[in-house]
Chain A
């Protein structure tokens, strides 16, 4: 099981047209296996975030082939891609992007309610389980806007986990956090990948964070510069 390929990028290329035509991703190919905790690092402007958004299926303007769970998603319609994201990908961003009018619990439940694989009661139970795992059980019914930054980011992680996704993608998931909360979030990721075989791909410019992950992919000028396995 550990060797199962979850995500495969084949010769991914992409251009930016503003301010002038510029090849931001240049034939990027790599694979991610189940349970891997991958960091994408590189200087700002190297294309690491751009690559992540291509991998996330939200950016469809690219060349090459992207396969998620042995299924090519290149050329799929927006609605199909939305379904794939809903079921197979969880997102954690630099900013938490919780819906401020809803309670933490409801925020966590939203992707599962959208997917509709379980009854509402089951979803509530699963959401509570995840909040408990992240140490937020007592905050479940508070409005999302009333929590501290670190807590909000953990709620966002719980939300990313609710549908048991194949991959969690993070865009600077600790970028807005102090060192204490960064450690907490990092430990959660580590625990997820090692104990629950959760695949994680995170863009970061935090070198400490990257060094503690399983595998570092370093990028420069739209190319993969090198890989380090820890």
Chain B
């Protein structure tokens, strides 16, 4: 007689086992719930935190900075290739060349045409002294086109006084870090004088104050118009010290920096290279959180493994008779793997809800500073990943004891 019907009796038995021992199921599912919730919660925190700290760091630097690196003269210039065999011995020192990037407009156009480049701006960076009355502070200033710079560094969000765009209409305007302003005790509208390494002194008008996440930066940094910066350095309007480049995927900046170096002939430095400690710290943070979250999940997996092993040793008689009646090894495996997956599915579902609740609570927790509320939000990918990882862990936690059950020799049990 042909086999006409597939009644899926294994699944039926699995359901009965799962729901007739509700207490065990709930305990095992609870383990998964907590594991999943913590896994997702930690990973959401990590994602939110990483996003926040990346945002903060990109307020100060671009993804890739193209600049003219200092050349050091070689101590020994040997003349092996010439006939006269005269070796030149000199002190190694920085070759006194200008730090300018030659023909910046052409290079900017070149970079803008590159794939994945989202923005290119030029700037003039230099160290300066701020003076007001008796007080004098060493610091640095960046000459920028303020609109472009705002797009790249999001200066607007750091402004605490004055108007950022006033800089555009005030040729001798300056945006000061709040630390600088405090030390000089100036406010918006006051004048200060600055002096450059070229010994040029210029009176500037404070048009705004900004506060970044880093108070050290606020104590030294200022923005002015690029033309003003060129002036105090006694340079012409084509003088540019840095080109800042933003790309689509900032995590990939290192690869692009190599290409841009070759393309422009200047040093192109990725933000990761310039901030190795920061990158290493965030790597460590993610390793710590990932290992904690995985440990929690593995513990939940062991919970399922234990409970399933227990169920299976209680069900030895059932397994033996089912095999005697014609259940194949795979049918038996299916019964218990399905049970594990059902426990897992219940646990994962509740775990997702719990994680959502935890994320929601934390996102309403005020942490202060310019961060405000804890930077965590619903991360669909993290939730998806958590659910998948949870089900995979459950699957294997069930598969191992289920395989053992499938290999039970019915004769040894039935012959008692």
Query: Count of chain A residues with Cβ under 8 Å from any Cβ of B?
Result: 34
Per the bound structure, the CA–CA distance linking A113 and B415 in Å amounts to 26
Give residues of chain A (86-108) contacting chain B, Cβ–Cβ below 8 Å.
86-87, 91, 93-95, 97, 99, 101-102
| A58 in contact (CB, < 8 A) | yes
Q: Which of A83, A119, A123 contacts B326 (CB 8 A)?
A: A83
Pairwise interchain contact B325-A91, C-beta atoms closer than 8 A: yes
Tell me, rounded to whole Å, the shortest Cβ–Cβ distance linking A41 to chain B: 17
Known: A53-B415, A95-B416, A97-B320. A119 touches B5 (CB 8 A): yes
Known: A82-B323, A86-B326. A117 touches B1 (CB 8 A): yes
Query: Count of chain B residues with Cβ under 8 Å from any Cβ of A?
Result: 32
Tell me, rounded to whole Å, the shortest Cβ–Cβ distance linking B320 to chain A: 7
Pairwise interchain contact B415-A114, C-beta atoms closer than 8 A: no
Pairwise interchain contact A79-B324, C-beta atoms closer than 8 A: no
Q: Total contacts A to B, CB within 8 angstroms?
A: 89
Give residues of chain B (18-63) contacting chain A, Cβ–Cβ below 8 Å.
20
| Across-interface contacts of B324 in A (CB, < 8 A) | 56, 58, 85, 91, 97
Tell me, rounded to whole Å, the shortest Cβ–Cβ distance linking A147 to chain B: 16
Most buried by B among A94, A111, A171: A111
Task: Determine the main DSSP class of B at the interface with A.
Answer: helix
Give residues of chain A (46-86) contacting chain B, Cβ–Cβ below 8 Å.
49, 53, 56, 58-59, 78-79, 82-86
| Across-interface contacts of A119 in B (CB, < 8 A) | 4-5
| Across-interface contacts of B318 in A (CB, < 8 A) | 97, 99
Identify the closest chain B residue to A100 (Cβ).
Answer: B318
Pairwise interchain contact B414-A101, C-beta atoms closer than 8 A: no
| A16 in contact (CB, < 8 A) | no
Pairwise interchain contact B326-A97, C-beta atoms closer than 8 A: no
Pairwise interchain contact A97-B414, C-beta atoms closer than 8 A: yes
Per the bound structure, the CA–CA distance linking A148 and B6 in Å amounts to 33
| A115 in contact (CB, < 8 A) | yes
- Name 19 interchain pairs, CB-CB below 8 A, sorted by A: A58-B323, A58-B411, A82-B323, A85-B324, A86-B326, A93-B321, A93-B414, A95-B416, A97-B320, A97-B324, A99-B16, A101-B16, A110-B322, A110-B325, A114-B327, A116-B4, A116-B7, A118-B5, A159-B325
Which of A's residues lie within 8 Å of B, judged by CB? Answer: 49, 53, 56, 58-59, 78-79, 82-87, 91, 93-95, 97, 99, 101-102, 110-111, 113-120, 123, 159, 171
